[in-house]
Amino acid sequence: MFARQAANAYAQVGVQTGAMSASPHKLIAMLYDGARAAIARARFHLDGGDIAGRGNAISKAIDIIDNGLRAVLDHDAGGEISANLEALYEYMVRRLMLANLRSDATLLGEVDALLESLASAWAQIDEAGQAAEPRAALQDN
């Protein structure tokens, strides 16, 4: 039991350290990863019949989507994209609540697939930005 608590504490310190040193872009990627990890835990608990564990994991995913991803949307600068993301995040939260009520792994999979698509697109934006930085530096010289 103690070893498990120690491992969890170590993992939490690693996440906190990574978050403190991460760029805003990386923080969003970490939120996507965290929501997907929570959904994976919910699936594990669903398969094991652990109702409380499933509920806690789904609540964690909802919290990350609602108070993390949705909360950082910039509606002034983001325009239509921001509005569409907000609607998608609201949809995901509703689907997760329904998945919890119905003990439905398919709904968990649906939200996970949506998050995977968004995370992939977000990663491509970061890669494009990083590829452009060296070119911009060369043009400045």
| Per-residue tens of pLDDT for the chain, all 141 residues | 444 444 444 445 444 545 555 687 889 999 999 999 999 999 999 999 999 999 999 999 999 999 999 998 988 887 899 999 999 999 999 999 999 999 999 999 999 999 999 999 999 987 666 655 545 444 555
- pTM over 0.85? The answer is no
CATH number of 23-140: 1.20.120.340
Spell out the alpha helix ranges (H) of 65-104. 75-102
Cα atoms in the Cβ-side hemisphere of radius 13 Å centred on 51: 3
Residue partners of 12: CB distance under 8 A and separation at least 6: none
Cα separation values, 95 from 65, 107, 127, 128, Å: 12, 6, 30, 32
Give the pair of three-digit tokens for residue 134: 């060296």
Q: Which residue has the tokens 């995040």?
A: 89
